[in-house]
Amino acid sequence: MIALDEAKRYVLESLAAPSPEVVALDDVLGGVAGEVVLARELVPGFANSSMDGFALRALDTASGSATLRVIGAVYAGDGGSSHVGPGEAARIMTGAPLPDGADCVCMKEEANVEPSGETVRVARTIRAGEFVRFPGEDVAIGQVLVAAGDELSPAKVAVLAGQGFASVRAYRRPRVGVISTGNELARSLGPLQSGQIRDLNRPLLLALVKESGCLPVDLGIVHDDYASIAQRLKDGVDDCDAVVSTGGVSVGDLDHVKAVIAELGGDSARSLQVAIKPGKPFAFGVVGARRVPVFGLPGNPVSTRVSFELFVRPALRFLAGHRELERPTANMVLDSALPRESDGKLHLIHVVARLHSDGLIHVERAIRQGSHLLSAIAEANALAMVPEGADLSSGDTVRAMILDASQLCATST
Ligand code: AMP
Ligand code: MG
């Protein structure tokens, strides 16, 4: 058996670094920038009003009040040719350019317009610059808008669009092929034949791939036949940036996947026994000139999930250009004991974790163990990591990987 960290390191060190490409802003949300982007336009581009009111000269109000002649109105979108002289004011709307000569705005709520509309009375001193948005206040030319490696959030996309950019150099979302292997897997949704089971791993992995921000590619189900598996994996490698298969990596008579990965991956291929439970058998190799990673995960669905989290997701994030590859982990308080037997492995236990009123995250309960019990783990939102030798009682702390942060505040059922 090899340690989890060593197996993970082997995977990550085998990967080829991705290169950024030009990606339309429409497609880039959640992606990662591959270049630093500097501002080329001032934002705002011109002095404008942040209020509906009157543009005027601050000096005119220095005595504490003023009555000013209203000379016209400026609207958002106007070209900015108006002028305000001493003793004058112009009606101004939010976003309209400040007229030449004016240096402040008195908000409408503080201005008393005479019934004729010809003069306005301002009853206090207005400071120069009041309610004016100045050029470059938001963005100065040359300012770093996005750094290489930044994840592109909605606000970052908008900031780039605000500079008139239609695209940015970013990392393409990896296309990830998903294959299930096994003679027992039903091909249709009709009634199951004797000995058949439904394919849980393909929908599970397609969803996990999507959740990790990549593009899932359904490569279907393949029989436990060496040549068929080899052909399907090769097709996947040609079409995708990574391929994940399940089943056939253990020691059964028909477990061909690990041998196929060994053939396709050559020197890069490893068939590992990782010191974790579940998820011990794991085959991996990089295939072809593009060094496409191929992951052979065990067939039991809970093992598939755990192996995906530990090996596949960090690798996919690397290929997608992310700097932070790992899920967040936190120390959590155990509300009940988490016993384990001694077998030399790190145990990964699906748990229900909730933020309590004491400000701490509690592990309220562990999910029934069994690597085939997928429905049982469906309500888990964290993966407790219990090392060999740990003897955890209620009240002790356990380190856990947060799988779904949005569920930390859910009401427990
Ligand atoms: P294997 O790793 O191929 O030996 O499979 C281990 C266990 O997982 C067996 O009980 C399989 O029937 C089951 N299994 C394999 N693939 C799937 C799948 N796609 N969906 C659900 N169960 C599976
Ligand atoms: Mg099998």
E strand or H helix at 69, and its extent? strand 66-74
> Do 295 and 241 meet the contact criterion of CB atoms below 8 Å apart?
no
> Do 36 and 146 meet the contact criterion of CB atoms below 8 Å apart?
yes
Q: Which ligand is nearest to the CA of 297?
A: 1
- From the CB of 300, is ligand 1 less than 6 Å away? yes
Give the distance (Å) from ligand 1 centre to CA of residue 158. Answer: 45
User: Which backbone phi and psi does 200 adopt, to 5 degrees?
Assistant: -95, -30
pLDDT value for 80? 72
Domains and CATH numbers, the chain: 4-18+173-319 (3.40.980.10), 21-43+137-171 (3.90.105.10), 48-133 (2.170.190.11), 329-407 (2.40.340.10)
pLDDT value for 413? 63
The Cα–Cα gap between 183 and 12 comes to 32
Q: Where are the beta strands (DSSP E) in 43-131?
A: 48-49, 53-56, 66-74, 88-92, 104-107, 111-113, 119-122
State the closest ligand 1 atom to the C-alpha of 257, by its place in the atom list counted from 1: 3
- From the CB of 197, is ligand 1 less than 6 Å away? yes
Cis peptide leading into 387, omega within 30 of 0? no
> Do 269 and 238 meet the contact criterion of CB atoms below 8 Å apart?
no
Q: What is the pLDDT along the chain (413 residues), one digit of tens a residue?
A: 999 999 999 999 999 999 999 999 999 999 999 999 999 999 999 999 999 999 999 999 999 999 999 999 999 999 978 999 999 999 999 999 999 999 999 999 999 999 999 999 999 999 999 999 999 999 999 999 999 999 999 999 999 999 999 999 999 999 999 999 999 999 999 999 999 999 999 999 999 999 999 999 999 999 999 999 999 999 999 999 999 999 999 999 999 999 999 999 999 999 999 999 999 999 999 999 999 999 999 999 999 999 999 999 999 999 999 999 999 999 999 999 999 999 999 999 999 999 999 999 999 999 988 878 888 899 999 999 999 999 999 999 999 999 999 999 998 76
pTM across the whole model: 0.90
State the DSSP code for 97: B
pLDDT value for 411? 84
- From the CB of 278, is ligand 1 less than 6 Å away? no
- From the CB of 55, is ligand 1 less than 6 Å away? no
- From the CB of 246, is ligand 1 less than 6 Å away? yes
Q: What is the CB neighbour count within 10 angstroms for residue 81?
A: 9
Burial class of 8 by CB neighbour count within 10 A (0 to 12, 13 to 18, 19+): middle
State the closest ligand 1 atom to the C-alpha of 221, by its place in the atom list counted from 1: 19
Burial class of 407 by CB neighbour count within 10 A (0 to 12, 13 to 18, 19+): middle
The Cα–Cα gap between 12 and 6 comes to 10
Q: What is the CB neighbour count within 10 angstroms for residue 387?
A: 13
- From the CB of 221, is ligand 1 less than 6 Å away? no
Give the distance (Å) from ligand 2 centre to CA of residue 380. Answer: 26
Give the distance (Å) from ligand 1 centre to CA of residue 300. Answer: 5
Which residues 6+ apart lie within 8 Å of 109 measured at CB? 53
The Cα–Cα gap between 298 and 307 comes to 8
User: Which backbone phi and psi does 210 adopt, to 5 degrees?
Assistant: -65, -45
Copy the structure tokens of residue 221: 């189900």
- From the CB of 279, is ligand 1 less than 6 Å away? no
Residues 272-303 pLDDT 10s: 999 999 999 999 999 999 999 999 999 999 99
- From the CB of 247, is ligand 1 less than 6 Å away? yes
Give the distance (Å) from ligand 2 centre to CA of residue 366. Answer: 28
Copy the structure tokens of residue 323: 């700097």
Q: Which ligand is nearest to the CA of 300?
A: 1
- From the CB of 180, is ligand 1 less than 6 Å away? yes
From 181, 206, 246, 254, give the residue whose CB has the most ligand 1 atoms within 8 Å, as the site to mutate: 246
Q: Which ligand is nearest to the CA of 250?
A: 1
Q: Whose CA is closest to atom 5 on ligand 1?
A: 299
Residues with CB in 5 Å of ion ligand 2: 182, 247-248, 299
Residues 205-254 pLDDT 10s: 999 999 999 999 999 999 999 999 999 999 999 999 999 999 999 999 99
From 181, 206, 300, 374, give the residue whose CB has the most ligand 1 atoms within 8 Å, as the site to mutate: 300
